[in-house]
Amino acid sequence: MTRNAALKTLALLIAALMALSMFSAAMAEEFQPGPKLGDKLVRQALLYALDRENFILAQYGSTELARVGLAPISPTSWAFPDLSDLNDYAFDLDKAAALLDEAGWTVGEDGYRYNADGVKLELEWLVYEDSPWPVTLSSMAFDSWKQIGVSLLINRMDFNTVANTTQEPPPGEKMFDIYTMGFSLDADPDPSGGLFDYDAFSAGGFNASGYYNEHAQDLIKAGKLEFDQAKRAAIYQEWAKLMNEEVPTSIVAYRSEIWGVNNRVSGLDLGTYAEWADIIRDVTLEGDQILKLGETSFDGKFNPIYSDKVYDTWINKVVFESPIRTSVEGEFVPYIADYELSNENKTYTFTLKEGITFSDGVPMTSEDFYFTYTMIAHPEYTGPRLSVAMGLEGYDEYAAGTAETISGVEIIDERTISFTFKEASPANIANFVYGIAPKHIYDDGTMEGFISHNSEPVGSGPLVMTDYAPSQFILLSANENYWDPDNAVKIDGVYITMVPDESKIAALELGDLDVAMPAANIDNLNAMQAIGNIHVASYLGNGYTFMCFNTLN
Amino acid sequence: MRTYLARRILQIIPVFLGILLILFFLMEHAPGGPVTTMMDPRLTAEQKAILAERLDPKLPIYQKFFNWIGSALQGNLGYSIKHKRPVTALLGDFIGPTFILSFSALILSMLIGIPIGVLSATRQRSLADNAATVFSLVGISMPTFFFGLLLLKFLAVDLRLFPLYGMRDNLLTRNASWLTRQLDVARHTVLPAVVLGLASTASFMRYTRSSMLEVIRQDYIRTARAKGLKEKVTIYRHALRNAIIPIITLLGFWIPSLLSGAVMTETIFAYPGLGKISVDAVNTRDYPVILGVNAMLSLLTLVGALVADVLYAVADPRIKYE
């Protein structure tokens, strides 16, 4: 066979394979719930047979430090349902066994359960070892599920492998029964695109459970369109109750955060949605006027449209200022810009407050706003905010190269700018919580030039970065040119050092640190409470852990 | 000697390329990717696919390989995905601290390990020898994190002799003189260097002892003694020089580890080294960093082995390379 002929055969073969795979994809579009986890009764039985309160005691040492999870909405959110409407699946092995009986799984000779087709109730749980809790939880499940006749296979791997196995493969090829992971809840309760949205059940999507419920999908859509907050809350409450009953993915626990704060610090009001820029404004110190803060690590992406690590984001929240921010209650409120909605709620017209200047004294204009937010649409942008630009009208044309600019973004005058979205949604406002960078410093026409400022950020915030050494420390000083003197910080600066978790409490005790957040467990809590010169602040954070059931199995 | 050197240097090139190829192959087949850990729930599958294509374009492996070599030759190792910083700049950030820490640890362990090794070989089965043996066994088997936390508890927390973490205290010394700042770095480096050096001190000691024991039984040592040479001269000039050859091998392989960092020690003391950065890079599949770090380390390993071979010839005139 000549080389050409061989190539032709190969091409034919590939074409045939592609056609076949497209055909099978079309065939598999409707997925059927599986016999095991596709049955709501089995999922509920598994939850009843998992003593989550005991797990919290074993892992965190106190029910003060984590709460049994109920629904995929933060308990501190305005959209959280009434507690009495939710089932907490309190540990009850008899109830679990009864549910399995009802579902048609009977105990065989070997003590394990089988269904009418002789299938054994055997489940595989993907457990990552990067943090200790999935190991604890799955070991507890192994013991208690065995008592109700469920055989559990624990498969240990690293985090990236769990994420990859559950998310990357297309629907129908996700090879797992159960996996667990930690996540954090946004201030906005909109669950679309997340763990519970059937639209995200895809190759690379976040939903791996494959659970489909028409009513739930309708509620998610309705919540995205409803602009009245009371009505919106009612929609999400109904949805949360439904998820609490159906449990395609169960929220294992809501987690608390604990902070040790030196008594020389006052005015430090921490909370789930408290913005760092707000917290720092009210802080006053006795003695030395620099607040010493200990952090575990930073990536060094001090750029509002690139940061994805909590600690990097903190820095960005005090060095930069955003049009919108979250209030203490978790609602989106105007910050350095007021806005109006028009055009059937699709267009947001922002007007920047008067007199805003960057720390170098140059006034902020709508050009800076435009520049920062359209950098997200830059063809070389590789940060996590892509969704912000993609929802804009005219983005597709711009990305395809058929338009010079994004038609949905328009500068109206020096301080006014409008953003038009393809679809109206109350969740769109969440796109404007990222800080504005000065065009005259950041813009050299390239993305490389833009991100070269990552380690020396310049913004309009109350603090400026004066010194930074990667993986060592960050020194922030009060912005002497701050445009809003009434809201300027009262201290000289913040010195943030990278401190290993094990040393945080010792450093607090020695006075090397004023503020630190050690891991929320009872040992750390007790150790901090025993120290005379510090006090403990704790609150329910927006972090949670979940357990996803593959409902196609 | 010159032809030997030329040949060895030429040999390094294909071996290095082979290592790179294996690295590329492994990364190609590692599950997950850099976008997998970008856990922003608002990113849809479509958006993640766009980002993945921009971060790690789907090219044939050989093309990725040649692209990388092409830009590496121009001094460009790409951008770190996690840190959004050029890999060369990132290496620059961390090589200095890594070197300071590892070099202090190495010097410390040689200064302690080799003399004690000699001592315990010359006084075999004495109390000192037994004590050194016990010490080296403890040193080799002591887990780093335990020893590190122990030192922190006693020397940093209770006695306040050393700082708890970090490489310098910028708040106290930012306006101080150059010397004060260097002393501050030294003060911060003592504990991590001791912890990092402990295991290698013990292995230097063991190597020196066994190699020395072998050498002092040789005929030429007996001759030296018979000639009436002082014991000190016999041991330190004649015996040690021959006993040191295996230690040189050890040293040759030490050079890359001088720069590879020590994850455990760096983590416990929050010392800004390459070890933690490279482990994080593997966990987040930060391919450019994994490649950059490993390419650098494998090159250093190859060079280290070469340097060791050359040092043999210096230490032992019987070894001649053609």
Q: Which residues of B touch A430 (CB under 8 A)?
A: 42
B78 in contact with A at a CB cutoff of 8 Å?
no
Tell me the chain B residues in contact with residue A292 when contact means C-beta distances shorter than 8 Å. Answer: 171
The pLDDT assigned to A28 comes to 46
Rounded to whole angstroms, the Cα distance separating B310 from A306 reads: 49
d(CA A52, CA A280): 36
| C-alpha span between A288 and A286 (Å, rounded) | 7
Instruction: Tell me the chain A residues in contact with residue B167 when contact means C-beta distances shorter than 8 Å.
Output: 472
B37: chain A residues, CB-CB within 8 Å: 159-160, 163
Is any Cβ of chain B less than 8 angstroms from the Cβ of A503? Answer: yes
Q: Which residues of B touch A495 (CB under 8 A)?
A: 170-171
* Residue A470 DSSP SS3: coil
Residue B17 C-beta-side C-alpha neighbours within 13 Å: 10
Instruction: Let me know: does A327 contact A314? Beta carbons within 8 Å.
Output: no
The DSSP output letter for A421 is B
**Partner residue opposite B54 with nearest CB, options A299, A382, A472:** A382
Chain B contact present for A385, CB below 8 A: yes
**Distance between B180 CA and the closest CA of chain A, angstroms:** 18
Q: Are B272 and A470 within 8 A, CB to CB?
A: yes
Contact between chains at B268 and A306 (C-beta distance less than 8 A):
no
Which chain B residue shows the shortest CA-CA distance from A199?
A: B44
- Can you tell me the distance from the alpha carbon of A534 to that of A505, in angstroms, rounded to the nearest whole number? 10
CA angle B283, B286, B288 (to 5 degrees): 145
Report percent pLDDT > 90 for chain B: 37
Residue whose token pair is 């150059």: B178
Looking at CA atoms only, how far is residue A451 from chain B in angstroms?
7
What CA–CA distance (Å, rounded) separates A149 from A316? 51
Contacts of B160 in chain A (CB under 8 A): 510
Residue whose token pair is 């060895």: B8
Strand partners, A231: none
Tens digits of residue pLDDT in A230-278: 999 999 999 999 999 999 999 999 999 999 999 999 999 988 888 888 8
Question: What pLDDT, on a 0 to 100 scale, did the predictor assign at position B176?
Answer: 86
- From the CA of B238, how many Å to the nearest CA of chain A? 47
Note whether A197 and A220 are within 8 A (CB): yes
Torsion of CA B141, B143, B146, B147, to 10 degrees: 60
**Could B152 and A159 be called an inter-chain contact, meaning their C-beta atoms sit closer than 8 Å?**
no
Q: Do B40 and A498 touch (CB under 8 A)?
A: no
- Under a CB-based contact definition with an 8 Å cutoff, are residues A452 and A445 in contact? no
Partner-chain contact A203 B174, CB within 8 Å: no
Give the up-direction half-sphere exposure of residue B271: CA atoms within 13 A in the CB hemisphere: 32
| pLDDT > 50? residue A1 | no
Cα distance between residue A63 and residue A538, in whole Å: 13
Model confidence pLDDT, tens digit, residues B110-164: 999 999 999 999 888 899 899 998 988 888 888 888 999 999 999 999 999 999 9
Q: Which residues contact B59 (CB under 8 A, 6 or more apart)?
A: B67
Which residues pair with residue A419 across a beta bridge?
A348, A409
H or E stretch at A183? strand A178-184
ipTM over cut 0.85? yes
CA distance B36 to chain A (A): 6
Residues of chain B in contact with residue A506, where contact means CB-CB under 8 angstroms, are 152, 156-157, 164
Choose among B47, B149, B168: nearest Cβ to A502: B149
A499 part of contact set with chain B, CB < 8 Å: yes
Q: In A, residues 78-137, which contact B (CB 8 Å cutoff)? A: 130
A378/B contact by beta carbon, under 8 A: no
* Cα–Cα distance measured from residue A36 to residue A120, given in angstroms and rounded to the nearest whole number: 9
Asked if A164 lies within 8 A of B39 by C-beta distance, the reply is no
SS3 B217: coil
For chain A, the straight-line distance linking the first and the last C-alpha, in angstroms and rounded, comes to 46
CB atoms within 10 A of CB B39: 16
- Classified as helix, coil or strand, A277 is helix
The CA distances from residue A479 to A1, A358, B39, in Å, are 75, 9, 33
Please name the member of A475, A499, A509 whose beta carbon is closest to the beta carbon of B270: A499
Residue B40: list chain A partners with CB under 8 A: 308, 384-385, 387
Distance from CA of B202 to the nearest CA of A (A): 27
Put simply, the answer to whether A471 touches B276 (Cβ < 8 Å) is yes
Query: CB-based contact (8 Å) between B64 and chain A?
Result: no
Find the CB nearest A507 among B43, B50, B164.
B164
Provide the pLDDT confidence category of residue A99 given band limits of 50, 70 and 90: very high
Q: Are B311 and B249 in contact (CB under 8 A)?
A: no
Cβ-Cβ contacts under 8 Å, B39 against chain A: 163, 183, 308
Torsion sign across C-alpha atoms A410, A412, A413, A417: negative
Burial class of residue B175, CB neighbours in 10 A (0-12, 13-18, 19+): exposed
Interface contact B94-A183, CB threshold 8 A: no
| Strand partners for A262 | A534
Please name the residues between 200 and 229 in chain B that touch chain A, using a CB distance below 8 Å. none
Q: Do A164 and B31 touch (CB under 8 A)?
A: yes
Any B CB within 8 A of A52 CB = no
**Rounded to an integer, what distance in angstroms lies between the CA atom of residue B320 and that of residue B322?**
7
Tell me if A236 sits within 8 A of A223, measured CB to CB.
yes
B31–A193 CB contact, under 8 Å: no
Q: Which residues pair with A549 in a beta bridge?
A: A178
Which candidate from A160, A379, A502 shows the least CB-CB separation from B31?
Answer: A160
For A464-504, the pLDDT digits (tens) are 999 999 989 999 999 999 999 999 999 999 999 999 988 99
What does the pLDDT profile of chain B (322 residues) look like in tens digits? Answer: 788 888 888 999 999 999 999 999 888 888 777 777 665 666 778 888 888 888 888 888 889 899 999 999 998 998 998 899 999 999 999 999 999 999 999 999 899 999 999 999 988 889 989 999 898 888 888 888 899 999 999 999 999 999 999 998 888 888 889 999 999 999 999 999 999 988 788 888 988 999 999 998 889 888 988 888 888 888 888 888 888 888 887 777 777 777 777 888 998 999 998 988 888 898 888 999 999 999 988 988 888 888 888 887 777 777 777 6
Q: How many CB pairs under 8 A join A and B?
A: 158
DSSP line for B68-127 = HHHHHHTT---B-TTT-SBHHHHHHHHHHHHHHHHHHHHHHHHHHHHHHHHHHHHTTTSH
- B54, B156, B167 ranked by CB distance to A472: nearest: B167
> A134: pLDDT confidence band, cut at 50, 70 and 90?
very high
Per-residue buried b or exposed e for A493-528, using 16+ beta carbons within 10 Å of the residue's own CB = bbbbbbbbebbbbbbbbbebbbbbbbbbbeebbebb
pLDDT for position A8: 58
CA A142 to CA A125: how far, in whole Å?
A: 10
**CA dihedral sign of residues A140, A141, A142, A148:** positive
Got the DSSP string for A481-532? T-S-GGG--SSSEEEEEE--HHHHHHHHHHTS-SEE---SSHHHHHHHHT-T
- Give tens-digit pLDDT for A396-438: 999 988 999 999 999 999 999 999 999 999 989 999 999 999 9
Measured in residues, chain A has a length of 553
Nearest to A326 by CA among A421, A189, A423: A189
Q: What is the pLDDT of residues A323-379, one digit of tens each?
A: 999 888 888 999 999 999 999 999 999 999 999 999 999 999 999 999 999 999 999
User: What does pLDDT average to over chain B?
Assistant: 87
Chain A residue with CA closest to B157: the answer is A506
Q: Indicate the angle between helix axes B2-29 and B61-73, nearest 10 degrees.
A: 130
Distance of CA A388 to the CA centre of its chain: 15
Per-residue model confidence as pLDDT tens digits over B265-298: 998 999 998 988 888 898 888 999 999 999 988 9
Nearest CA in chain A to B37: A160
pLDDT on residue A334: 95
Average pLDDT, chain A: 91
Residues of A within 8 A of B171 (CB-CB) are: 290, 292, 473, 475, 495
Put simply, whether A169 touches B (Cβ < 8 Å) is no
Give the HSE-up count for residue A525: Cα atoms under 13 Å, Cβ half-sphere: 16
Going by C-alpha positions, the residue among A314, A311, A323, A246 that lies closest to residue A42 is A246
pLDDT at A110: 92
